[in-house]
Structure 1
């Protein structure tokens, strides 16, 4: 038995913001986090007791486009397969709900790209990822 609990639920706004910060991800305003979380297609949270130690979400239109976002693991718990468990749950959801021809994307930080490759994701070349931050 694993020493943590995997739940198909949204994190609280506070837990979401805390985990993003300690995992080295960019910050989000409370307003953005509140709106973004409630508009998720799917979310998975990993807890050690009542402490959020991992998460991942899917956003998109639910038909043509899906994006894997916010995959994060508390640094204290990294290297234990939690990221892999999160991706198993997310890809399981996609296998069940994504229609044929759906496009699933993500932006990977190195070295996390190695994890995503294990789940069938590949680089977008010759296309490139682009962004605009507000």
Structure 2
């Protein structure tokens, strides 16, 4: 049975899930620093195995970013990504104020999932940018 929790995952499990889901890798040290600082966490477990996650970070009022939406490939295609997003959106719908800005970076074809929740591409008016430390 799949269990949903509203707490950050353990750093090692977080790093492992990012890796198997094909996301950029994070160090365990960085994960330990950052995981406790999200505004909202959703984690899915099959027994003790972390199989899905999503996080919401931000300032709590004016700006939020949805990050780390990941589902283990063995569990993809079963609606778990949508469940994670639904929980995050339910939380946002309770706390967002007029003018709150929520952003995310969508890998393709995951952008189709986010469109179901009302997200739109920023192009051509704006484009996302990033810098990664190695």
Query: Which of 53, 74, 87 is 1:89 aligned to?
Result: 87
Please report how far the alpha carbon of residue 49 of structure 1 lies from its aligned counterpart in structure 2 after TM superposition: 1.2
> Residue in 1 aligned with 2:126?
127
Which runs of 4 or more aligned residues in structure 1 lie more than 2 Å from their structure 2 counterparts after TM superposition? Answer: none
Task: Find the aligned partners of 1:35 and 1:50 in 2 and give their Cα distance.
Answer: 22
- Aligned-pair CA distance for 1:84: 0.2
Moved more, 66-75 or 118-127: 118-127
Structure 2 SS opposite 1:72:
strand
Question: So what's the TM-score if we normalise by structure 1?
Answer: 0.96
- State the Cα deviation string for residues 85-134 of structure 1 (Å, max 9, x = none): 00000000000112221000000000000000000100012100000111
The normalised TM-score by structure 2 is 0.96
Gapped regions of structure 1 (runs ≥ 5): none
CA distance in 2, matches of 1:77, 1:61: 32
Please tell me the root mean square deviation across aligned C-alpha atoms, in Å: 0.7
Per-residue deviation at 1:39? 1.0
1:45-124 aligned at under 5 Å gives the runs 45-124=43-122
| Matched residues, number | 132
Distance in 1 (CA, whole Å) between partners of 2:28 and 2:51 is: 20
Deviation string, structure 1 residues 18-70 (Cα, Å, up to 9, x no partner): 00000000011122111110111110001111111000000111111100000
